[in-house]
Amino acid sequence: MGTAEFEQEIEDAIDRDDPIELMDVVLRVGHEAPDREWAQSCCMQLSRHRSAHVRGNAIAGFGHLARRFGRLDPNAIKRRVDIALHDLSPYVREQARSAAEDLQTFLEWEFDPPPE
């Protein structure tokens, strides 16, 4: 599957807006998307989703992208992870902690520890 086909498949899923489908779709983006900027934008969009599991998986996607590409836009992503560290959902907070660890490991970004 080429880049255009992959992106179209993901964008079609986003348009359908089925949280069950999007939980897996956003993980595919983090693990498989060939275009870093597109993948980063996709995860950013889904990190604001109404479903906590979609939001959490999108945040986790930033960690996968950091590992795969070795660089991301700190201005956008660091703020989203910081916000997710304080999300009302325990699932989102846990995914944010994991992503923050990955971002620190692979990109040397620092995060303030979230409240316990």
Domains of the chain, by residue range, sit at 3-106
For residues 58 and 45, give the distance between their C-alpha atoms in angstroms, rounded to a whole number.
Answer: 8
* pLDDT tens track, the chain, 116 positions: 789 999 999 999 999 999 999 999 999 999 999 999 999 999 999 999 999 999 999 999 999 999 999 999 998 899 999 999 999 999 999 999 999 999 999 999 998 866 55
Structure confidence at residue 103 (pLDDT): 97
Structure confidence at residue 59 (pLDDT): 98
Go through 11-45 and write b for each residue having 16 or more CB atoms within 10 A of its CB, e for each that does not: eebbeeeeeeebbebbbbbbeebeeeebbbebbbe
Structure confidence at residue 8 (pLDDT): 96
For residues 11 and 7, give the distance between their C-alpha atoms in angstroms, rounded to a whole number.
Answer: 6
Which residue reads 């945040």 in tokens?
59
